Chains A and B, each alone.
With several copies, the nearest count.
Chain A
Amino acid sequence: MNYVVDLESFHGPLDLLLYLLEEQQLEIYDIPIATITDQYMEYLRQTGEFNLEQMGDFLIMATYLLNLKSRMLLPSRVELSEEEDSDPRAELVQRLLDYKKYKKLAECLLSYQNGDFPRVFFRDSEDEISGIEELVGDAAQLWRSFQVLLRDLPEQEEKFRLPQGDVNISEKMEEIVERLEQGKAGLVLQDLFQGVISLREALAFFLALLELIRLQRVEAIQEQSFGEIKIRLQVAV
């Protein structure tokens, strides 16, 4: 049967494993690792769209399962020490048992919340009903926060600042044409970037160059692979 499994509906890889075990009425204490691993991988394969962050957790478990599977399959050639002799599944079994326990506790909590178990009720506060909470604050506090933020800013600003209005491509286009008009033999591409101090400026020069080429005012010629790229004014035909 071909269907897409919604991984979102599982809280995580342990939940999916428990589901697989329960579905086939398998014992947690004696997990058939090979079978379960194959089924687990099959589930992942059938999964269509997924949330990347969540998928990461599932993939970590997949790696772990594959590793377990291979360890179970390998014949033990060497005399194993006491510790290594223990069932490689032991850790997984313990994790599944732990997880199952807390899952049950979560169900208990839900029953409490629903009033399925004898519980006490507290008074609904007016706050909760109206959704109004009285917030307090003072302007000096606000000002101090901002001061601190500004003080820490310079470093961050260099890192995060995005292109703003200071990069003007048409100015750069004029500059390129001007420089090409001065040097008769044209320029080598790298020369364009001489004296450029910021990445944004370099980007502006490059965009300006592309635009000039598109407008057929300038041509760029590379005579051999990996050779210099020469730029010169296009001669009007």
Chain B
Amino acid sequence: MLMRDQIKAAVEAVLFVRAGRVGMDELVEILDIPLLELKEILLEMILEYNNNIRSGLQIVELNGGYLLCTRPAYSDILARMEKPQKKRLSAAALDTLAIVAYRQPVTRLEIEQIRGVKSDRIVNTLLEKGLIQEAGHKAVLGKPILYATTEEFLKVFGLTSLKELPDLEEL
């Protein structure tokens, strides 16, 4: 049986090892403690992290799971780190991604109407890169596939939620 402090340390280790979101149910399984207790502990941890000015990290809740990421305050410094061959997205890919991000779920045709160009290739590229995913079918003739952004999308752009995207109307 783990002590409360040990549980916290274990949660931290688990979130650290996984470079992304860890689902609540997965945490329960790995740590073998009741859901309610775990939730309480995570809330405490989030507060502790937030109050610890000596930490550059924070715990964020995302889609019913938790993940460890850096605090926005250090983005300048971290941007200076050389990214191990991260591929830049082309302008066309960024355009398309912007449309998916704001209009999701959206069909390829809707994307093409906004961009004014055929977009099947660019949509495939974004799918392959894991930045967008299929999200069901639109209930119209032909049942076209709907696309939405992924967690990988949030990761690449350093967002902890879609709500952090700049406001469309303000532009």
Once the chains bind, are B95 and A103 in contact (CB under 8 Å)?
yes
Known: A11-B115, A53-B118, A149-B99. A123 touches B91 (CB 8 A): no
A15 to B95, CA, bound (A): 11
* Interface hit among B1-9, B15-23, B38-46: B15-23
Once the chains bind, are B118 and A57 in contact (CB under 8 Å)?
yes
Once the chains bind, are A137 and B92 in contact (CB under 8 Å)?
no
Query: In the assembled complex, which residues on chain B have CB atoms less than 8 Å from the CB atom of A226?
Result: none
A-B contact count (CB 8 A): 215
Contact with A along B127-158 (1 / 0, CB 8 A): 00101000000000000000000000001111
In this assembly, does A114 line the interface, its C-beta being within 8 Å of a C-beta of chain B?
yes
Once the chains bind, are A124 and B171 in contact (CB under 8 Å)?
no
In this assembly, does B98 line the interface, its C-beta being within 8 Å of a C-beta of chain A?
yes
Once the chains bind, are B19 and A105 in contact (CB under 8 Å)?
no
In this assembly, does B102 line the interface, its C-beta being within 8 Å of a C-beta of chain A?
yes
Q: Closest CB of chain B to A85's CB: distance in Å?
A: 25
Interface size, B (range): 35 or more
Once the chains bind, are A136 and B97 in contact (CB under 8 Å)?
no
Query: In the assembled complex, which residues on chain B have CB atoms less than 8 Å from the CB atom of A73?
Result: none
B160 and chain A: residue at smallest CB distance: A120
- Partner of B20 from the list A121, A125, A135 (CB cut-off 8 Å) is A125
A131 and chain B: residue at smallest CB distance: B85
A199 to B26, CA, bound (A): 62
Query: In the assembled complex, which residues on chain B have CB atoms less than 8 Å from the CB atom of A117?
Result: 75
- Partner of B75 from the list A106, A119, A146, A161 (CB cut-off 8 Å) is A119
Beyond the given A99-B116, A106-B98, A145-B97, please list 15 additional residue pairs across the A-B interface where CB-CB is below 8 A.
A95-B113, A103-B95, A105-B171, A106-B91, A110-B89, A113-B158, A116-B79, A118-B72, A125-B19, A127-B19, A127-B85, A133-B129, A134-B84, A135-B89, A149-B114
